[in-house]
Amino acid sequence: MNNDTNRLNRNLLLAGLGLIVFLCFFAGIGSGPLFDVDEGAFSEATREILVSKNYLTTYLNG
């Protein structure tokens, strides 16, 4: 009887721990966009910095 109770308690503990881990990993899914809207602007500004070799001033389309 005691062995069955210990096994049940262990299984409940593992199930609860699994539920907590599941919620921690998947709680934020869907809260933010998959891609940033201005990602293209950031990459273009970075490209222009590398082309102009001017690392202090950022330009966008200019």
- The domain locations on the chain are 1-30, 32-62
Residue located via tokens 């809207």: 37
**29: phi then psi, degrees, rounded to nearest 5:** -65, 130
Rounded CA-CA distance 41/48 in Å is 11
User: Can you give the length of the chain in residues?
Assistant: 62
Give residue 1's pLDDT: 62
Q: pLDDT band for position 4 (50/70/90)?
A: confident
pLDDT at 22 over 70: yes
Convert the pLDDT of each residue in 31-47 to its tens digit: 777 777 888 888 899 99
Q: pLDDT band for position 18 (50/70/90)?
A: very high
Average pLDDT in the chain: 86
